[in-house]
Structure 1
Amino acid sequence: MLSLKRCFGIALLLLLAITAKAQQSTPITLKELLNRADQKAPTLLTDSAAILIRQAQAAETRSSWLPNLKLNYQADVGTSNNTTGPYFGFGIIPSSSGGIHNTNVTTAVGDNLGIASLDWEIYNFGKYGAQNKVANSDIKVEQNQFAQSKYQLEAYTIGDYLQLLRLQDFLAIQVRNIQRNQQIRRSIESLAKSGIRAGVDTSIAEAELSKARLNYIELNNQLKQVQLQLSAVTGLPYQSIVPDSTVEAALINQPSAALFAPDTINHPIINFYRSVYQNSLQREDLVKKLYNPKISLDAAAWERASSVNASGQYNSISNGYGFDRGNYLVGLSVSYNLFDLRRKQLKLRTQKASTQYAMKKLQEQQQLLSVSSSQADVEMQTALERLKEIPNQLKAANDGYRQKLSLYKNGLTDIVELDAALNILYRAETDYMQAKYTYANALFQKAITQNQVNTVLNLLK
């Protein structure tokens, strides 16, 4: 049974070594990963298609000034009886032109009619221009929405990349912890065989070793989950997404990176909310001009024929086909609905409320970015202070473990104190790893908040 466990331990160590070597052989830089995400992320591909929709809508809006030119033709057969009296047409009462008969005539009449009609809203006091400005503003909002999506994807990718670094460091710590527990177990086995130690120590050591292996398995699973998340946005096989282990050290050795100036003019989040606010202002202007008077050009030309001649005689129905009379009509019209004044006031009040909301959202985002930047500064300062102190903790914990191991081998202490020393060393290593991660994460958080990610990436060359 013991040989099987030893074989399992050796196999696990070999697997860890192979995995570590594979990870170190082909690391991918953060810049490469971000470029890949920009090209392959499904969300960005979808958002880029939304821009095309807005551009098509803007082209449609620019064509709204075009006139209506309608061509109509009809050939009819029916009676022609009229009487005196007004009525509303309702759009459904057919027209019958001609004189009034003394009796109701049932003789069929043949006629035809061809019409070309034009109506053109030639001037509306700025409505067309306001519509085009809103359409262009909609494109700008969509473009800034796309830029914001790229920004959020960038933050997401950086966060996952740093998590990979953290888990990679954690796995390395677990490998060392497994090796130490195996060393302790071998010492206990040797001491137990010689009767210096009780057999229960072997069980305790075996339990600690098993716990270390389980921790490694769980951490390895977490690392693969993060790799899968990055694979979903980059299209890369998840096994190939191995972080560059030099990132944290490169950033820690260049603390001047924390001094970069914020870029508030081109910040994607600010640009997006600013464009939403500007879009709302443009819509206010459109509402003001939407209910203005309209000046239209109307024109029509038509020809017709009828089987009834000028003296009122009914001829063959076929005589009604073939134009023999023509007319035209041209005019300018002005239309204005007085109740549009009230509609304009109500709609403008609603739009002003939307503009106020957009302005508040812009101010909110500016404040949130400022707070986030300050929080990142505090985190970075705290992490730097911890990084200065932790080496002392790490050295003391390492010395304490070696002393306890030596005392245990000589029968001067027990397994409980040795495990306590081992746990202190393990905690010191994890504290150091967490401090490095916290500093790098805070630095990138500040870079993301201040739109200076490329500045930090340039430090990693």
Structure 2
Amino acid sequence: MKTIFRSATCLWLTCLSVTLYAQEPRQHTLGNLWEQVERQYPGIQAQTALVASSASKQQAVKSQALPQFKIQAQNSYGTFEGSNGAFFPQSGFFNVSGNPNLLDGSDQTFNTFGSATVEWEVFAFGKQNQENKAASAQYEQQLAQKEAYILQLKKELAVRHIQNLYATANYDWMSKNADRLKNIELITNGLAVSGLKPAADNLLAHSSYLQAAGQQRYWTGNKQATHIALAELVGEPLDTIDAIHLHNFLTFPLHKTNDATATETFEHPVLTQYKQEASYFEHSSKSMSRAALPSIKVLGGYAIRGTGIQSHTVTDKWKDGFSNAIDNYLVGVGITWNFSSLFTNQYKKQALTKQAESAEKKYSAYEQALQANIAASQVQIKEQTQQLQQTHQAIIHATQAYGMYMARYKSGLITLSELLQIQQLLEQAEKTHIDATQHYWMQVVSEAALTANFDFLFTNL
């Protein structure tokens, strides 16, 4: 009775553990790995910062349409001697001084001056509108650049994950091969001790085993190296790949394929980037053309001034610098036209137009190549799926044949050389299937990068 109870308890615990394991999320799926990369990879954060920078530039360009308001305040101390004559203090201004009246008092005095000016460009033939559109296109271009970077990062993650799975599969393959050769060596040794087989067979079997053990060392290093590369991209330590994930990697294409196809409305981030680049240069060209035309501005100003210079005397006291205050205001409408820009801006416009044309040509070339590459990739995936079906059957048949030939060798019906040849055929069949599996997944990655859709890979790999 106790035995039955124990058996029932063990069976219940086994079923419970299987159920709990089935409910656990797959920690090594590509989708889970991408969540970690997306959350903490510095490259994505750098692209996000560039997008924020572009958004700030866009707002800065739009703010140029607002009135430009300037204010200043001065309090100075110095001499006030003047002389007759005229001069240009700076480009665009000139000053004329007359003979001052003779004044009594100090030779120095305090002065106070404050002013505020406002300048508002109310009409410039649509220049500001084109600048706003150019800034908006540049922002959209930066967004597309971020999406293209993320797409490339997804591809890099998928490639590293597949390389890790591939190295692990080769390590397990070579481990199985080494175990088979070790088993052959033990059998050969027993037959040699019994006098049924020559000692040379034992040496040959041991040599074959040592070669397999050496290859196993190679794949051990490769497995560890690809694991480190994957962990570097993810940004945190990872567990080694378990048998379930490895089995899914090798057998998933045998019973399920990606049937999703790209829609006609699909636009690759790189295409969007070229499109927005062309739009930016186009609007910049129009803005440059309109900048050569005159602009109309509304102007206004207010100034207040005080000085220690009285009607007949001068004082050097600081408080007197605020005396004799006068204030003025000035409003008006002005027109500004730089005639030289009619010629220089024409060449700048031509340069921007050519850059827009170049971006449009790059868009067309990339779009044409993209469609061709997608079609070619889908054809290759279809054929590689058929290849995997055949290589899988080849492994089954080679495994069955190896078991039969092993029995014949034990019975003394065939030689060791013949058995090793069969073992090599089985080894080659397994290796061919692993390589074909890697090529299949790599082609799926290429298609995902071309269609900008990694949903199939993130869900199933």
Give the alignment's TM-score, normalised by structure 2: 0.82
Give the match for residue 121 of structure 2: 122
Give the match for residue 10 of structure 2: none
Equivalent runs, 1:153-168 vs 2, <5 Å? 153-168=153-168
Please give the per-residue CA displacement for 1:184-219, whole angstroms capped at 9, x wherever unaligned: 100111122123333333232222212222222322
The answer to whether the 8 A contact 2:33-2:234 is kept is: yes
Bigger mean CA offset, 191-200 vs 260-269: 260-269
Give the match for residue 292 of structure 1: 293
Partner SS, residue 229 of structure 1:
helix
The alpha carbon displacement at 1:413 in A equals 4.1
Give the match for residue 429 of structure 1: 430
Amino acid at match of 1:302: A
Give the match for residue 386 of structure 2: 385
Give the match for residue 32 of structure 2: 32
Partner SS, residue 118 of structure 1:
strand
Amino acid at match of 2:109: G
| Pair 1:302 & 2:311 matched | no
Structure 2: stretches of 5+ with no match in the other structure: 1-23
Please give the per-residue CA displacement for 1:195-250, whole angstroms capped at 9, x wherever unaligned: 33333332322222122222223223222222222222323413256546325533
Give the distance between the partners of 1:26 and 1:360, measured in 2 at CA: 45
Equivalent runs, 1:54-93 vs 2, <5 Å? 54-64=54-64, 65-83=66-84, 85-90=85-90
Give the match for residue 248 of structure 2: 246
Amino acid at match of 1:184: I
Partner SS, residue 195 of structure 1:
coil
Give the match for residue 134 of structure 2: 134
The alpha carbon displacement at 1:263 in A equals 5.9
Deviating beyond 6 angstroms after TM superposition, the runs of 4 or more aligned structure 1 residues are: 91-96, 103-107
The answer to whether the 8 A contact 2:310-2:324 is kept is: no
Partner SS, residue 197 of structure 1:
coil
Residues 245 and 368 from structure 1, CA distance in 2 versus in 1: closer, same or farther, beyond 3 angstroms?
farther
Residues 244 and 172 from structure 1, CA distance in 2 versus in 1: closer, same or farther, beyond 3 angstroms?
closer
Residues 324 and 191 from structure 1, CA distance in 2 versus in 1: closer, same or farther, beyond 3 angstroms?
closer
Give the distance between the partners of 1:388 and 1:182, measured in 2 at CA: 30
Give the distance between the partners of 1:375 and 1:356, measured in 2 at CA: 29
The alpha carbon displacement at 1:177 in A equals 0.7
Amino acid at match of 1:232: E
Give the distance between the partners of 1:62 and 1:343, measured in 2 at CA: 25
Give the distance between the partners of 2:250 and 2:392, measured in 1 at CA: 16
The answer to whether the 8 A contact 2:271-2:366 is kept is: yes
The alpha carbon displacement at 1:435 in A equals 2.4
The answer to whether the 8 A contact 1:79-1:106 is kept is: no
Give the match for residue 442 of structure 1: 443
The alpha carbon displacement at 1:181 in A equals 0.3
Amino acid at match of 1:82: S
Give the distance between the partners of 1:186 and 1:36, measured in 2 at CA: 48
Give the match for residue 269 of structure 2: 268
Please give the per-residue CA displacement for 1:259-285, whole angstroms capped at 9, x wherever unaligned: 523465343232232222222223223
Partner SS, residue 279 of structure 2:
helix
The answer to whether the 8 A contact 2:113-2:304 is kept is: yes
**Identity of counterpart residues, as a percentage?**
17
Partner SS, residue 338 of structure 1:
coil
The alpha carbon displacement at 1:355 in A equals 1.1
Please give the per-residue CA displacement for 1:281-339, whole angstroms capped at 9, x wherever unaligned: 232233223333222333333333455555xx444444665134333322222111111
Equivalent runs, 1:215-364 vs 2, <5 Å? 215-240=215-240, 243=245, 245-255=247-257, 257-258=258-259, 260-262=261-263, 265-306=266-307, 309-310=310-311, 313-318=312-317, 321-364=322-365
The answer to whether the 8 A contact 1:171-1:220 is kept is: yes
Give the distance between the partners of 2:170 and 2:142, measured in 1 at CA: 42
The answer to whether the 8 A contact 2:115-2:303 is kept is: yes
The answer to whether the 8 A contact 1:160-1:230 is kept is: yes
Residues 302 and 270 from structure 1, CA distance in 2 versus in 1: closer, same or farther, beyond 3 angstroms?
closer
Equivalent runs, 1:2-21 vs 2, <5 Å? none
Give the distance between the partners of 2:369 and 2:109, measured in 1 at CA: 78
Please give the per-residue CA displacement for 1:157-178, whole angstroms capped at 9, x wherever unaligned: 2222233333333233222211
Give the match for residue 190 of structure 1: 190
The alpha carbon displacement at 1:358 in A equals 1.4
Give the distance between the partners of 1:303 and 1:183, measured in 2 at CA: 105
Please give the per-residue CA displacement for 1:13-61, whole angstroms capped at 9, x wherever unaligned: xxxxxxxxxxx99652222222222222221122112212222222333
The alpha carbon displacement at 1:109 in A equals 5.1
Residues 402 and 436 from structure 1, CA distance in 2 versus in 1: closer, same or farther, beyond 3 angstroms?
same
Give the distance between the partners of 1:382 and 1:409, measured in 2 at CA: 41
The answer to whether the 8 A contact 1:178-1:209 is kept is: yes
Give the match for residue 49 of structure 1: 49
The answer to whether the 8 A contact 2:308-2:316 is kept is: yes
The answer to whether the 8 A contact 1:114-1:302 is kept is: yes
Give the distance between the partners of 2:76 and 2:391, measured in 1 at CA: 98
Give the match for residue 150 of structure 2: 150
The answer to whether the 8 A contact 1:141-1:276 is kept is: yes
Bigger mean CA offset, 421-430 vs 171-180: 171-180
The alpha carbon displacement at 1:453 in A equals 2.6
Residues 203 and 315 from structure 1, CA distance in 2 versus in 1: closer, same or farther, beyond 3 angstroms?
same
Give the alignment's TM-score, normalised by structure 1: 0.82
The answer to whether the 8 A contact 2:106-2:316 is kept is: no
Partner SS, residue 55 of structure 2:
helix
Give the match for residue 205 of structure 2: 205
Give the distance between the partners of 2:359 and 2:61, measured in 1 at CA: 24
* Count, aligned residues: 433
The answer to whether the 8 A contact 1:114-1:304 is kept is: yes
Residues 292 and 119 from structure 1, CA distance in 2 versus in 1: closer, same or farther, beyond 3 angstroms?
farther
Residues 380 and 70 from structure 1, CA distance in 2 versus in 1: closer, same or farther, beyond 3 angstroms?
same
Partner SS, residue 31 of structure 2:
helix
The answer to whether the 8 A contact 2:274-2:359 is kept is: yes
CA RMSD in angstroms, aligned pairs only: 3.4
